Chains A and B, each alone.
Chain A
Amino acid sequence: MVSLNQLIAVCLVYVAGLFLVAFLAERAAFRGRGGWLLRSPLVYTLSLSIYCTAWTFYGAVGYAARSGLEYVTIYLGPSLVMIGWWWVLRRLVRIGRAQRVTSVADLISARYGKSNLLAVMVTIMAVVGVTPYIALQLQSVTLSVSIFAATETASGQGGQINDNAAFWVAAGLAVFTLLFGTRNLNANERHHGVVIAVAVEAVVKLVALVAVGVFVVWGVAGGLSETVARIDASPISTWQTGGGRWTALIVLSAAALVCLPRMFQVMVVENDDERHLQIASWAFPLYLLAISLFVVPIAVVGLELMPEGANPDLYVLTVPLSQGQNGLAMLAFLGGFSSATSMVIVATLALSTMMSNHIVMPLWLKLNDAGATQSGDVRTVVIRARRLSIMLIITLGYLYYSASGGSGALAAIGLISFGGVAQFLPALLGGIFWRGATRTGAVAGLSIGFVVWMYTMLLPSFGPDAALSAAVFDHGPLGLGWLRPQALFGIAGLDPTVHAVWWSLSLNTLLFFVVSIFSFPTPLERLQGAQFVNVFDHSSGPAHGWSASQGRTEDLMIMSQRILGATEAKAFFKREAAQQGRMGVPPVPTQEFVQALERELAASVGAATANAMISQIIGGQAISVEDLMAVADESAQILEYSSKLETKSRQLAETANELGRTNEKLTQLSLQKDSFLSQISHELRTPMTSIRSFSEILRDMEGLSAAEKTRYASIIHSETIRLTRLLDDLLDLSVLENGQVSLNARQVNLHDVIEQSVTTAQASSARPIDIRRKPRNEDVTLHTDGDRLAQVFINIVANAIKYCDAAAPVLTIAVRRHDEDVIIGFTDNGTGIPVEGQNLIFEKFARLGNGDADGAGLGLAICREIITRLGGQISYVQHDQGGSFEVRLSRTGLAREAQRLLPA
């Protein structure tokens, strides 16, 4: 026999080895080495093997010894799910990576609008469902220890040793999980130490079970055919399972593979590469096949060799021991120990993440109202919460074990646990395949499923008069016969497991579906739903908008530092700033940035908590109108309709504006016409009046002297000239304004034009004026109508001669070039035009002051028209003293301009 001390020593060495492996893996990962192994599909597949717990290692044989082939359903279900990876797991893994999901509770909560209620429900259900399972692992270890201890100690001390073993195993597991499970806060990062330890344990348990199997088949039974013969001769020689139970168990185990928190942890959260999934799709079923291959032979041989009443759950240990194979028994013990410890470690890790993210952190946030913005490191809070949760869960498992007194067959506890977590399935599958699934529906389905599971599976498992009285078993609560826990609705005679699985899952699904159909999701739910269901269409699309404003970056930075750590947060902000194209300054809190930050935080504290923390700072989530439109099923039509509407209303507004402008213009034109007519009448009437009166004098007055006659006649003559000139001007202006002018464009020299103008202007006036010019500058060749240009210049120079109020008038004509333009400035030394008149001088009939009535006030208006026709500009420029007229003409553009304006 192996002595207890030897056993403990081997165990300690093995555990020390595990710690070392985990430590080395963490260190290698930290240094960025060993990725070929740590991130390999092999390790991924092996880590999935935590599905096979002590329940498999010991329980499967016991199960087979009791019920024949039925045990294999527990491995057929997962094999089916893995082979069908394309349908569910691929989707789950992609969503897990896209949404930085930290646990199964996080996934369900995130899908249904980041609901914390759902997260809490799933967490509690998981803890309730998995705690018995953890107790089961402790029980299996103590049971196996008791086998070795049985021969050595008196029966009185056996219980003591068992309790001690359970306690020390629980403590050791807690220490391991604390050490390697809470090293990094980001639950999305791989726990390399844990994963590699789990992989090693997977190999150990497989080797151990296969070794026992090989020994049994070839060492005890004496070969394959002999083994088959023994099977046929054994008490379990026939197929005993009913079709309903067979199907129910396969469905249950398939559901458990997807829903178990620990499986979700290794399969989705710790997944490094989506391609590993397809490799695992054949490698993991192969593992399961290998591990369940020898179960029936061991059970058959055990039934044959072991005395009546021996616990069939321990045949894996007792058969080799009975054959004197101490080494093999030790290996088998280590295998069982491995399967128990790896399950407890990962399950605790997964549950603690859920507890700290969904229960402790929200509570903490609520208690600290200013929570997200105050200073201090939240990381310590999160890590402490996680460590506390780890200890709490292991303690719960230990307490459950102590309280239940290690009773019940292993398989029963395992199935109950499966039944509990399988309740997540409708909400989970509905969430990733059906956009119509709502939060209310999920809450309703989970609640009814959980209650039915408790009532039909968990509570009855303690036996009559334990949790439920025998009366309830027989007659239902309060004598309601149709509510009997193992015969709901009066349907008796079903297998209890089938009964519980059927009612809990079907009521769960039904309620989930019906309530989902009749409830209406919030916008956030609908957005998340679309994200999850269409994960392969737009994995990186934004989920929703934050109405972020400037000036919040500081707060966000403080919060992120506290959750991610100072260096990580700074690096993240720097990266985001660089992406926004900003260097050395914090990033602008754009929607994209806040979303990225939320996702980053979600990896550490879960979606719901991250969402709550961000909204504490940003102050509420804005779902933009576009988002809402996109959510609406009729979005396409709405968008199209509204864009059409928008176009129409814009067109209408434009038309109305144009009409208004036209109306204004017409009114102005009408006013202009009126004033023009009245001006014209006035201008025509003045000379007409004097012509008429003087002609009357000449006609009627007798005895006029010759000198008088001459004077009056010359007045009439000059007034006629004035009238003619006025009419000429009017005609000229009208022609110019109507664009019917014919310009005679040709190459002219500016100097000549100015020369001619000055000479003409001076000739027509007696008033002397000093005209100063710089002929050198005037030597510019223009393509223009020289006569018309001269007309303008003559007008300006004549005005200067006429109106300059200086004692010795001086007119300076300066020509300068500006880019492609020639600017001719006419500056006199008079006081210039008063400010109020400057706007008017280019208007028709604008005459300043009451100067003599010689001009009709059309000269500058004509000038402006001409210059405009020539493609230039004329303006009056105010100086400190006086002002000047400036004519701007294009040198190069003139030809082109002229061609455009001048008829060919």
Chain B
Amino acid sequence: MPEARLFLERRSYRRRRIMDAVRMLPFLCALLWIAVPAMWPNGAGGTEAMPLSVALRYVFIIWLLTITASFALWRRTGREDKASADTSARPKA
């Protein structure tokens, strides 16, 4: 890095924010997949258990949304990469 700049031009800024999204996506997804189902009642404590069809729908919708987000991010990074050749994408904000 020849010199460290504090502020970036618009395109580099956009690319870094997209990479931020790429990095954050799995955590969001893990939260939705692990933390939320862990709170579902499974009928053990006398409460009414979560219906399977609802759980099924929830898991698969999250899945589909995540895939769509991941796909969209890939498209965006591909475009941004084409625009500028720097692919190293170092974690610098």
Is A239's CB under 8 angstroms from B29's CB? no
Q: Which of B37, B44, B68, B77 contacts A278 (CB 8 A)?
A: B77
Is B33's CB under 8 angstroms from A250's CB? yes
Q: How far is the CA of A289 from the CA of B43 in the complex (A)?
A: 27
Is B49's CB under 8 angstroms from A246's CB? no
Within 8 A of A (CB), among B49-85: 49-53, 55-56, 59-60, 63-64, 66-68, 70-71, 74, 77
CB distance from B61 to the nearest CB of A (A): 11
CB distance from B85 to the nearest CB of A (A): 13
Q: How far is the CA of A246 from the CA of B39 in the complex (A)?
A: 11
Is A84's CB under 8 angstroms from B63's CB? no
Q: Which one of A95-103, A230-238, A312-320 is at the interface?
A: A230-238
Most buried by A among B22, B51, B67: B67
Residue A49 interfacial (CB < 8 Å): no
> Taking CB as reference atom, which chain B residue is nearest A287?
B67
Is A282's CB under 8 angstroms from B67's CB? yes
Residue B90 interfacial (CB < 8 Å): yes
Is B38's CB under 8 angstroms from A80's CB? no
Q: Which of A76, A282, A536 contacts B33 (CB 8 A)?
A: A76
CB distance from B89 to the nearest CB of A (A): 8
Is A231's CB under 8 angstroms from B56's CB? yes
Which A residues touch B40, using CB under 8 A?
239
Is B74's CB under 8 angstroms from A241's CB? no
Given A237-B51, A238-B51: A86 and B22 interface contact (C-beta under 8 Å): yes
CB distance from A670 to the nearest CB of B (A): 60
Most buried by A among B30, B43, B70: B70
CB distance from A422 to the nearest CB of B (A): 17
Within 8 A of B (CB), among A220-252: 228, 231-232, 234, 236-243, 246-247, 250
Residue A79 interfacial (CB < 8 Å): yes
Is B59's CB under 8 angstroms from A80's CB? no
CB distance from A290 to the nearest CB of B (A): 10
Is B53's CB under 8 angstroms from A83's CB? no
Is A239's CB under 8 angstroms from B52's CB? yes
Q: How far is the CA of A92 from the CA of B62 in the complex (A)?
A: 27
> Taking CB as reference atom, which chain B residue is nearest A229?
B53
CB distance from A295 to the nearest CB of B (A): 10
Given A239-B41, A241-B42: A281 and B50 interface contact (C-beta under 8 Å): no
Is A242's CB under 8 angstroms from B44's CB? yes
Is B42's CB under 8 angstroms from A83's CB? no
Is B41's CB under 8 angstroms from A250's CB? no
**Interface contact tally, CB-CB below 8 A:** 101
Is B77's CB under 8 angstroms from A80's CB? no
Is B50's CB under 8 angstroms from A239's CB? yes
Given A240-B42, A285-B63: A80 and B71 interface contact (C-beta under 8 Å): no
Is A282's CB under 8 angstroms from B44's CB? no
Q: How far is the CA of A87 from the CA of B26 in the complex (A)?
A: 9
Within 8 A of B (CB), among A43-89: 68-69, 72, 76, 79-81, 83-84, 86-87
Is A296's CB under 8 angstroms from B19's CB? no
Which A residues touch B77, using CB under 8 A?
278
Which A residues touch B90, using CB under 8 A?
536
Is A246's CB under 8 angstroms from B88's CB? no
Residue B23 interfacial (CB < 8 Å): yes
Is A69's CB under 8 angstroms from B42's CB? no
Residue A293 interfacial (CB < 8 Å): yes
Is B43's CB under 8 angstroms from A86's CB? no
Q: How far is the CA of A461 from the CA of B41 in the complex (A)?
A: 29
Is A246's CB under 8 angstroms from B51's CB? no
Which B residues touch A150, using CB under 8 A?
none
Is A246's CB under 8 angstroms from B37's CB? yes
CB distance from A130 to the nearest CB of B (A): 27
Is B59's CB under 8 angstroms from A69's CB? yes
Residue A669 interfacial (CB < 8 Å): no
Q: How far is the CA of A296 from the CA of B56 in the complex (A)?
A: 9
CB distance from A518 to the nearest CB of B (A): 31
Which B residues touch A296, using CB under 8 A?
52, 56
> Taking CB as reference atom, which chain A residue is nearest B88?
A536
CB distance from A96 to the nearest CB of B (A): 18
Is A289's CB under 8 angstroms from B64's CB? yes
Is A83's CB under 8 angstroms from B29's CB? yes
Residue A632 interfacial (CB < 8 Å): no
CB distance from A413 to the nearest CB of B (A): 24
> Taking CB as reference atom, which chain B residue is nearest A81?
B26
CB distance from A83 to the nearest CB of B (A): 5
Residue B8 interfacial (CB < 8 Å): no
Which A residues touch B33, using CB under 8 A?
76, 80, 250
Is A80's CB under 8 angstroms from B56's CB? no
Is B34's CB under 8 angstroms from A83's CB? no
> Taking CB as reference atom, which chain B residue is nearest A236?
B52
Q: Which of A87, A237, A536 contacts B23 (CB 8 A)?
A: A87
Q: How far is the CA of A289 from the CA of B64 in the complex (A)?
A: 8
Given A76-B33, A80-B30, A84-B25: A238 and B38 interface contact (C-beta under 8 Å): no
Q: Which of A79, A87, A238, A286 contacts B42 (CB 8 A)?
A: A238
> Taking CB as reference atom, which chain B residue is nearest A76?
B33
Given A79-B66, A281-B70, A289-B60: A239 and B55 interface contact (C-beta under 8 Å): yes
> Taking CB as reference atom, which chain B residue is nearest A232?
B53
Which B residues touch A246, using CB under 8 A?
34, 37-38
CB distance from A40 to the nearest CB of B (A): 15
Residue A279 interfacial (CB < 8 Å): yes
Which A residues touch B29, using CB under 8 A?
79-80, 83
Q: How far is the CA of A228 from the CA of B52 in the complex (A)?
A: 9
Is B74's CB under 8 angstroms from A282's CB? yes
Given A231-B52, A243-B38: A285 and B43 interface contact (C-beta under 8 Å): no
Which B residues touch A236, using CB under 8 A?
52
Q: Which of B25, B56, B67, B71 contacts A289 (CB 8 A)?
A: B67
Q: How far is the CA of A240 from the CA of B52 in the complex (A)?
A: 9
Is B53's CB under 8 angstroms from A231's CB? yes
Is B37's CB under 8 angstroms from A241's CB? yes
Q: How far is the CA of A281 from the CA of B74 in the complex (A)?
A: 9
Within 8 A of A (CB), among B12-47: 19, 22-23, 25-27, 29-30, 33-34, 37-44
CB distance from B74 to the nearest CB of A (A): 5
Q: How far is the CA of A76 from the CA of B58 in the complex (A)?
A: 13
Q: How far is the CA of A759 from the CA of B28 in the complex (A)?
A: 111
Residue pairs across A and B with Cβ atoms less than 8 A apart, 11 shown, are A80-B29, A80-B30, A83-B29, A231-B56, A232-B51, A234-B52, A239-B41, A241-B42, A285-B67, A289-B63, A293-B60
Show the binding face of A for B, using Cβ within 8 Å: 68-69, 72, 76, 79-81, 83-84, 86-87, 228, 231-232, 234, 236-243, 246-247, 250, 278-279, 281-282, 285-286, 289, 293, 296, 536
Task: Give 11 A-B pairs besides A239-B41, A246-B38 with Cβ atoms closer than 8 angstroms.
Answer: A84-B23, A231-B56, A236-B52, A237-B51, A237-B53, A239-B43, A239-B52, A239-B55, A240-B43, A241-B42, A289-B60
